[in-house]
């Protein structure tokens, strides 16, 4: 297992930086949240890319320090998330044969699993990328039997199907640099949707097949799960900020920091997607407090619904294009934009599947109510993914108890990828 030290999980979102100080309670095998803080995100663009390392490091430092003060912790390590905008995904297969033993069918040994994974990881990826995660989609024995862990199973052939993700080395480096400039040690960097999924998506939903959609401010990211594993991730470059700017356009008011903030507040206050008082006026006040413009509730709701439905439609189209919808049994939402009242009904209309909204489900005192909201799923997921340690990827689960740390095994395997 990775060290169960105190860590700060940092979600560098395009609207907010969120920091969660977490520890691990060994007795109850549960993550404990000791403090949190969030701050406005000014130096991250709509694709989740950092635009000013030094300025971001300053604001990041403030957010992490504040969270640490609340938690009464000093100099913790940081784990941080990366959006999937610039990543490459590779599906790769590693078949190997298992020799018979004394005339009887052979048995899968750790060495066979290692060989299959090594064969599957024989891919080429761009020279300016690094492998950031490897997920096992399937182990298959004798071309037919799908198993979770093939260790000690009888058979003559083992196949492993991997989903390998590479990310630009520069994106990874710049995140690391920001954290170091902020005065902290960067322990690890994970992909946001993979980490968030460990919190938002139950094992049941993974096994049955589902899509997890994280609806942020500028980005909507989705992961399709089938037979227990992520098989595809995608993103739509739209989110809650687009709802806000559509509303601003409907008010016909010039766009500025003040008008956008005022409309964003109205959006959160009147976030019901159902038109119950169609003619009620929703007034946008100017900074001086005077009425500036108004929309009827009907107009207001229509603008929000149109944009949100467009986002769902784009996700739906991408999933359909990749022929993945048939096996998807439910939809799980997270992210701040999943806070709209009535979002599950709207999403259900588009996908025709049951929809739920995930939160971190942290138990504890009053502070927990503030982080048990859909926009904290990614930060909590990053902490959870970190504490999963060796269990993080099923690819490496089978190496348990083999001696030596799994991190070294992972590093070995990652090191063997070819850059092409
Ligand atoms: N109560 C609410 N009702 C509707 N929208 C909300 C509510 N609370 C927050 N939002 C919206 O959620 C968005 C922020 O969500 P989140 O914190 O998940 O984004 P982020 O992680 O910063 O951005 P991204 O993931 O796109 O980089 C904003 O657009 C905000 O207006
Ligand atoms: Mg986000």
Encode pLDDT of 104-151 as tens digits: 889 999 999 999 998 998 899 999 999 999 998 889 999 988 888 899
The DSSP output letter for 374 is G
Q: What is the pLDDT of residues 51-108, one digit of tens each?
A: 999 999 999 999 999 999 999 998 789 999 999 999 999 999 999 999 998 888 899 9
- Nearest atom, ligand 1, residue 341 CA: 3
**Ligand 1 pocket, residue 106 CB under 6 Å:** no
Q: Which two tokens stand for residue 137?
A: 């989609």
**Ligand 1 pocket, residue 268 CB under 6 Å:** yes
Which value, to the nearest 10 degrees, does the dihedral of the CA atoms of residues 129, 227, 196, 43 take? 40
Distance of CA 149 from the midpoint of ligand 2 (Å): 32
Q: How confident is the model at residue 397 (pLDDT cuts 50, 70, 90)?
A: very low
Q: What is the pLDDT of residues 37-48, one digit of tens each?
A: 999 998 998 888
Q: Which two tokens stand for residue 22?
A: 């977490």
As assigned by CATH, the class of the 88-168+410-419 domain is alpha beta
**Protein residue with its CA nearest to atom 19 in ligand 1:** 216
Distance of CA 309 from the midpoint of ligand 1 (Å): 16
**Protein residue with its CA nearest to atom 25 in ligand 1:** 216
Instruction: Identify which has the larger pLDDT, 327 or 246.
Output: 246
The DSSP output letter for 286 is P
Tell me the average pLDDT across 27-43: 91
**Ligand 1 pocket, residue 187 CB under 6 Å:** no
Q: Which residue has the tokens 């207001």?
A: 300
**Ligand 1 pocket, residue 14 CB under 6 Å:** yes
Domain map (residue ranges) of the chain: 88-168+410-419, 240-304
The DSSP output letter for 277 is S
**Protein residue with its CA nearest to atom 21 in ligand 1:** 13
**Ligand 1 pocket, residue 238 CB under 6 Å:** no
The DSSP output letter for 208 is H
Cα–Cα distances (Å) from 4 to 25, 66, 233, 242, 410, in that order, read 9, 22, 29, 39, 18
- pLDDT score, position 390: 65
From the CA atom positions of the chain, what is the Rg in Å? 23
Q: Which residue has the tokens 């989705």?
A: 222
Cα–Cα distances (Å) from 386 to 101, 152, 326, 375, in that order, read 40, 28, 32, 19
β strands within 216-314, DSSP E: 220-226, 229-236, 281-285, 291-296
**Ligand 1 pocket, residue 272 CB under 6 Å:** no
Residue 211 to residue 153: CA distance in whole angstroms: 31
User: How many other C-beta atoms are found inside a 10 Å radius of the C-beta of residue 258?
Assistant: 11
**Ligand 1 pocket, residue 271 CB under 6 Å:** yes
Closest C-alpha among 75, 84, 76, 79 to residue 18: 79
Give the H/E segment covering residue 186: strand 185-191
**Ligand 1 pocket, residue 221 CB under 6 Å:** no
Whether the CA torsion 97, 99, 103, 106 is positive or negative: it is: negative
Distance of CA 333 from the midpoint of ligand 2 (Å): 12
């Amino acid at each position: 297992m990775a060290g169960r030290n105190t860590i700060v999980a940092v979600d560098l979102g395009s609207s907010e930086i969120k920091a969660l100080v977490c520890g691990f309670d060994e007795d109850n095998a549960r993550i404990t949240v000791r403090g949190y803080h969030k701050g406005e995100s000014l130096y991250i663009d709509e694709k989740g890319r950092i635009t000013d390392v030094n300025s971001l490091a300053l604001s990041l430092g403030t957010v992490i320090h504040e969270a640490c003060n609340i938690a009464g912790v000093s100099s913790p390590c940081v784990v941080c998330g990366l959006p999937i905008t610039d990543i490459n995904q590779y599906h790769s297969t590693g078949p190997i044969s298992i020799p018979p033993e004394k005339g009887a069918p052979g048995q899968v040994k750790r060495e066979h699993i290692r060989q299959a994974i090594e064969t599957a990881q024989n891919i080429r990826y761009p020279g300016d990328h690094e492998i950031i995660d490897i997920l096992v989609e399937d182990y298959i024995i004798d071309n037919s039997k799908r198993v979770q862990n093939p260790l000690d199973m009888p058979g003559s052939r083992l196949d492993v199907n991997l989903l390998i993700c590479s990310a630009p080395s520069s994106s990874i480096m710049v995140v690391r640099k920001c954290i170091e400039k902020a005065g902290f040690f960067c322990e690890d960097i994970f992909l946001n949707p993979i980490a968030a999924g460990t919190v938002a998506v139950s094992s049941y939903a993974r096994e049955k097949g589902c899509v997890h959609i994280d609806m942020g401010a500028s980005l909507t990211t989705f992961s399709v799960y089938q037979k227990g594993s992520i098989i595809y991730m995608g993103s739509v470059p739209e989110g809650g900020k687009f709802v806000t700017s559509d509303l601003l356009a409907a008010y016909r008011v010039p766009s500025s920091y003040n008008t956008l903030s005022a409309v964003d507040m109205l959006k959160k206050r009147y976030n019901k997607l159902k038109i119950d008082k169609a003619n009620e006026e929703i007034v946008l006040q100017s900074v001086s407090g005077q009425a500036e413009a108004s929309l009827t509730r009907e107009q207001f709701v229509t603008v929000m619904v149109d944009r949100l439905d467009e986002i769902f439609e784009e996700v739906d189209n991408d999933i359909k294009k990749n022929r993945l919808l048939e096996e998807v049994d439910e939809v799980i939402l997270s992210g701040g934009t999943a806070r709209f009242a009535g979002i599950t009904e709207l999403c259900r209309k588009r996908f025709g599947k049951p929809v739920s909204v995930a939160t971190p489900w942290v138990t504890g005192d009053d502070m927990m109510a503030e982080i048990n909201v859909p926009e904290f799923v990614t930060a909590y997921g990053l902490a959870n993914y970190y504490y999963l340690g060796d269990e993080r990827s099923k690819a490496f689960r089978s190496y348990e108890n083999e001696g030596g740390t799994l991190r070294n095994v992972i590093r070995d395997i990652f090191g063997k990828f070819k850059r092409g």
